[in-house]
Structure 1
Amino acid sequence: MLLSVFVNYWIGILLDKFRKQGKLLLTIAVAYNLGILYIFKYLNFSVDTLNRVTGAALTIPQIALPIGISFFTFQIMSYVIDVYRKQVEVQKNILDLALYISLFPQLIAGPIVRYVDVKNQIAQRGTSWEKFHAGVIRFAIGFSKKVLIADQLSSLVDTVFAGKYPSLWGHWVGILAYTLQIYFDFSGYSDMAIGMGKMFGFDFLENFNYPYISRSIKEFWRRWHISLSTWFRDYLYIPLGGSRKGKARTYVNLLIVFFLTGLWHGASFNFIVWGLFYAVFLIAERLGFEKVLKKMPVALQHIYSLFVIMIGWVFFRADTLGAAVDFIRGMFVPYGKDIAYLNVTLNPQYVFFLVMGILFSIPHTKAMKRVNASKIGRALYEVFVLLTFVLAIIYMVGSGYSPFLYFRF
């Protein structure tokens, strides 16, 4: 990370000084950053794939994956690209650039913070009791989402994906649990990062906007991991031509973007298939299915979106492509043991956390407006949040180590 800061700092300085050589310097910067990411994240995968395809026996040392490398690499690339585009002024203080890259609240698992969004805050940010207070509440909400919902569903997810209780019912319960687990785990981390940022005077952009209420896959990607999807849109999709160069080129661009979106998540064919899976549906919606969707009842639009999302999460969670295919088959082929395993896969504790997950994955705008309408209502809400936070701490102390799911990416 420190080497990345040092190299990109000087490339930024040179970009600002030698504009005629801008394309060459930007190429060097992108090659360096992607090269570092490739060596640490994809080199082992590449060698293993080459060995399987060719029958070779190439060996290299196993390379440890530096935590947060995907996030801080994309952040520093956005800075260099924006300097090249003259969208931001070059940062001449290397410590300020290092602060941008090493901001610990969101360093490990996002959201991806762009330099343009925090450059003024790095130079001069305002701290206040009100902002610190808001940060504490936001942190408590994120922590509770992670510990009280995501972590409580993890054992159910692990049990189902391990195939211990095979049943059609169990497969659907398992993927529903994972759908909720990954949302509350990742959005919980984002809430905690945004909350900690506020405590120190930083305002990070939102990373989730209730993605499971989407009526199409296009809408889902506007609501899910917003910092990543907008990064790919602004720094890859639009430079490739976006939707400005005809339909065929648009579809190719979508395939490229979502191939790389999948690959960004990890060195695995599962993630590649997961990305391309979404690309297929996005292309289908552009080809005319979106118009058909809009004519359907709203409930059917939601069902379609959730169905596609849940099938996609199978590829994301399964260890191998074969395991993913087997799991999807298990979602549609009866085992004959559904009743026998009903009470095992869905005990009262799991039912409670599944229901809580569903309830809190949808917005309650009207209720929150009524709560915020009075000081007493707001105070009671914050007492509830802090009591839930204390309960989450008790749960955490009584359980084992449970890292955030996005640490692995």
Structure 2
Amino acid sequence: MTFSTLSFIFLFLPVSLLVYHLIPAEKSIWRKAALLIFSVLFYVWGDAPSVLVLVISVLFNYISGQQIRMLSADAGNGLRRKVTVIVAVVVDVAVLGIFKYSRLALPVGMSFYTFSALSYVFDIYYGRVEDDGNVLNEMLYILFFPKLISGPIMQYKDFREQLVQKTAKNRYFTSGMHLFIIGLFKKVLIADNLSTAFHQISSLSQMAGLTAWLGMIFYSLELYFDFSGYSDMAIGLAGMFGFRIEKNFNYPYLSDGVTDFWRRWHISLGAWFRDYVYIPMGGNRCSREKQFRNLAVVWILTGLWHGNTLNFLFWGIYHGFFVILEKFAIGQKRLLIPKWLRILLTDLIAFVGWIFFFTPSIGGAFHYLGQMFGADGLGFANGASAYYLTSNLVLLILALICCGPLLTRLHDTLVYRGRKNMIYLSAALHVVLLIFCVANMVGSTYSTFLYFRF
């Protein structure tokens, strides 16, 4: 089951919300239990054969975390604590690797819930939480259905602060509904239509240069709206159940540098690698050579986390190269370049990188790059180029506008700074937007989220 299906929106979501909020907020343990049951049902509905792998992962990491917690009571158990956390990491990574790099079908969400499980173990090991051994809290943290399949990868220390609260924060409900509808709009009305345009182009055996450029742009925009749309929906759903999850995207295509881009794109994954890999290795508080090593390791692991082909490893090295180049060679000199040009260059680097996501091999990626510069001998533009540009021009303009905060700021200015009755106009606009999304879902073929494959 995914968020952008009619069965989720009109069956699973209203039933789970009704049951959850009918339980008095003071009876938090029953609310948690109900939410845990719905989370398991959500996963079973989408990938029943893999639920056993998920349950084993949850129980294994709970036992590992509690073993570390008990050993922490005695300072003399330092070595045993370290061995326990190493074993947990090795087992988790090995199991993920077996599924990711073999012919076995990768369980839905495994890359994400494995990192959540590791966060649980790490936060206990580093003493970032005063864990009380409550198995319900640990299970709900990993299985919480809004973030279970594709994140955001919320760290245990942040989630547990909300789990131990006696009452849920119901004030997040309205903003959660807003975010869910915005995310649905991004996915259904923008990403899915960009996907159609991209697949029309990618099915061509030969293409002119402009056609190839359009294909790269369509995919890059599709990936952003697909994944940021999912994240907005996940954060919105969490808010409807009284939980706060921080934003996962912050207008990344407005970044004026590669480092800035990765502070804005998939923020939770970047924070995970920063807190559990980069900083423990020394982070920035070490020699220049070790900083270089730390960044290289993080980007190699980032590439491997995304996929099981050389394309993803190359993609990780590619971005690591630009991050290291910007940090150690270019530095503040880049500020001499006009900001609009820095943004354009950053987007070009990111867009070219995404080619290694949608092509099946490194050779295919470089062939596609060649097509962008006329390798097929069809020149820069032809009739097909004109067709794909003109037939998708309105969609392209809408997508480019929505890459920035213009519409959000306009809405907030009208609603929160305008006349009091403007709030009713905002509600009406959200209803209309939801109707358009549902109509598009009814009349189109089901399209899953791109990041499910990772």
1:344 and 2:387 equivalent? yes
The CA deviation at 1:379 is 3.0
Q: Which residues of structure 1 form unaligned runs of 5+?
A: 45-61
Instruction: Pick closer, same or farther for the CA change 1:113–1:129 going to 2, 3 Å.
Output: closer
Q: Which residue of 2 aligns with 1:28?
A: 87
The CA deviation at 1:94 is 1.4
Structure 1 distance, partners of 2:331, 2:439, is 46
Task: Give secondary structure in 1 for the equivalent of 2:237.
Answer: helix
Q: Which residue of 2 aligns with 1:131?
A: 172
The counterpart of 2:209, out of the listed 168, 187, 208, is 168
Which deviates the most, 270-279 or 119-128? 119-128
The CA deviation at 1:287 is 2.3
1:77 and 2:118 equivalent? yes
Q: Does the CA-based 8 Å contact 2:252-2:265 persist in structure 1?
A: yes
1:12 and 2:12 equivalent? no
Q: Which residue of 2 aligns with 1:55?
A: none
Q: Does the CA-based 8 Å contact 1:131-1:199 persist in structure 2?
A: yes
Structure 2 distance, partners of 1:4, 1:193, is 22
Task: Give secondary structure in 2 for the equivalent of 1:26.
Answer: helix
The counterpart of 1:383, out of the listed 428, 433, 436, is 428
1:95 and 2:95 equivalent? no
1:251 and 2:297 equivalent? no
Structure 2 distance, partners of 1:186, 1:2, is 26
Q: Which residue of 2 aligns with 1:394?
A: 439
Structure 2 distance, partners of 1:133, 1:125, is 21
Which deviates the most, 24-33 or 181-190? 24-33
Q: Which residue of 1 aligns with 2:312?
A: 271
The CA deviation at 1:291 is 2.2
The CA deviation at 1:129 is 5.7
1:39 and 2:98 equivalent? yes
The counterpart of 1:363, out of the listed 405, 419, 431, is 405
Structure 2 distance, partners of 1:129, 1:234, is 30
Q: Which residue of 1 aligns with 2:344?
A: 303
Task: Give secondary structure in 2 for the equivalent of 1:346.
Answer: helix
Q: Does the CA-based 8 Å contact 1:37-1:73 persist in structure 2?
A: yes
Task: Give secondary structure in 2 for the equivalent of 1:90.
Answer: coil
Structure 2 distance, partners of 1:285, 1:398, is 46
Structure 2 distance, partners of 1:376, 1:322, is 58
Q: Does the CA-based 8 Å contact 1:125-1:202 persist in structure 2?
A: no
Which deviates the most, 121-130 or 111-120? 121-130
Aligned pairs for 1:149-298 within 5 A: 149-164=190-205, 166-298=207-339
Give the TM-score of the pair, scaled to structure 2.
Answer: 0.83
The CA deviation at 1:384 is 1.6
Give the residue type in structure 1 aligned to 2:343: H
Deviations along 1:23-63, one digit per CA (max 9) or x if unpaired, are 11111111111121111112x2xxxxxxxxxxxxxxxxx31
Q: Does the CA-based 8 Å contact 1:165-1:341 persist in structure 2?
A: no
Instruction: Pick closer, same or farther for the CA change 1:378–1:276 going to 2, 3 Å.
Output: farther
Q: Which residues of structure 2 form unaligned runs of 5+?
A: 1-53
Structure 1 distance, partners of 2:365, 2:132, is 46
Deviations along 1:253-275, one digit per CA (max 9) or x if unpaired, are 11111111011011111111111
The counterpart of 2:417, out of the listed 369, 373, 376, is 373
Task: Give secondary structure in 2 for the equivalent of 1:174.
Answer: helix
Count of residues paired in the alignment: 390
The CA deviation at 1:343 is 3.2
Structure 2 distance, partners of 1:164, 1:33, is 41
Structure 2 distance, partners of 1:390, 1:255, is 46
